[in-house]
Amino acid sequence: MRKFFKYIGLLVIIVIALLYLLELLYTHTYKNGIPRNKVSYVLSMNDKYIDYIFLGSSRVDNTIDAEVMRL
């Protein structure tokens, strides 16, 4: 029975370590990869200063009031 618990404990440790490593790999790839959507494109623009960003559908684009933005 003790051998079984050691085996299960080892499997749990290996699975947790693999999950952690895969999370690091995914995060690195997402941050440093080619931008594939609006959010990743905005996150990749580190050296530019942006006042406003409007993310969404065409409804967001069509309902922006320029007079309010100038204030």
Question: Using one digit for the tens of pLDDT, what is the confidence trace for 16-25?
Answer: 999 999 999 9
| Predicted pLDDT of residue 71 | 63
Query: What is the tally of structural domains in the chain?
Result: 1
- Kindly indicate the confidence band of residue 54, based on its pLDDT and cuts at 50, 70 and 90: confident
DSSP secondary structure letters along the chain: -HHHHHHHHHHHHHHHHHHHHHHHHHHHHHHHS---SHHHHHHH--S---S----SSHHHHHT--HHHHH-
pLDDT at 25: 96
The average pLDDT across 41-63 equals 83
Q: How confident is the model at residue 15 (pLDDT cuts 50, 70, 90)?
A: very high
Range of the domain at 7: 2-70
The answer on pLDDT for 60 being more than 70 is yes
